[in-house]
Amino acid sequence: MNNIGWQNPFSGIFHVIGLWAASGRADAARVAVGTERLRDWGVEVVVPQLPGEPRRYLAAADEVRLAHLHELLGNRRVEAILAVRGGFGVTRLLDDIDWDAVRQRNLPAIGYSDFTGFLLAAWKQGCQRLVHGPMLCPDLSRKPLTPEEAAGAQAAMQSLTACLRGDERLLPLSASPIVLRPGQARGPLVPANLSLLTALLGTAHWPELDGCILVLEDVNEAAHRVDRMLTQLRSAGVLRRLAGLAFGQFTAGEDSEYLPEVLVDFADAVPGPVLADLPFGHVAHTISLPVGALATIDTAAAPASRLQRG
């Protein structure tokens, strides 16, 4: 496979990665492309051996997807878990996951979208090596057709590497986040998909967000649905207990022209600073963010330094 323009984000960090199809059905051809890319980088790929067939819109039945996670956790050679794709289904598993095993291995887990449900639940369970970042599909299975697409994919891989290595900088130099509410804040960073975060409200897997810096994104959600979910968080008292808030990208939704107004409506619900337009979400050049790491927002800083680790 031609990997020109791609940097191996796992170089010198992980040599053996387990693939977990925790959510929706994945296209077999895209899985093959992503898996081949990992192997071309010299990464050994571990796939659970227990057979499983797709069920409706799920990668496999709940009990099979659970068994796949526990199989990967039991494999002492696996150094990290990479989500195969998002979609839907991980929240169906959370009640039955062996969280003792998850805590004991404390494996880095990487993914976003529907995988947010696992990341947030694992963070609540005390896991600290979690990354809201690229998945096998669509990210590692992309075939850039233009120099611009290749540059975007490369930037996403560089951000993942920086995140895994614990670099202080979280935003690329080209980033220019918008300030919706000025100020300074410091607290645990919680990157999340808005739909999955609100889906955990009222469950045993809801993470403690008091004093946190929340970073939100979503895809295929109309402006009024984003409004509804943010209203739910405000009514539940979540927003007023945050240290800070940042909005990433809300892509492919209806009435997107209203989104800037919607986000402004909720800025005053947060006592600390609020940013918007971070390069974070369901976009090819998304940045990776560490779940639970201490971070700061300083709206007086230069644009690319407004969100930093530490």
Catalytic residues: 113, 217, 282
Q: Output the CA torsion sign for 232, 280, 287, 174.
A: negative
Which residue, chain included where needed, has tokens 């918007």?
276
Q: CA separation (Å) from 239 to 231, 245, 305? A: 9, 8, 23
**CB–CB of 198/229 below 8 Å?**
yes
For residue 186, the one-letter residue type is: R
> Which residues, 6+ apart, have CB-to-CB distance to 71 below 8 Å?
48, 49, 50
3-state secondary structure of 83: strand
Give the whole-angstrom CA distance, residue 297 versus residue 307: 5
3-state secondary structure of 80: strand
**CB–CB of 135/157 below 8 Å?**
no
DSSP labels, 148-168 = HHHHHHHHHHHHHHHHHHT-S
Give the whole-angstrom CA distance, residue 308 versus residue 310: 6
> Which residues, 6+ apart, have CB-to-CB distance to 227 below 8 Å?
262, 265
- Phi, then psi, of 108 in degrees rounded to 5: -60, 135
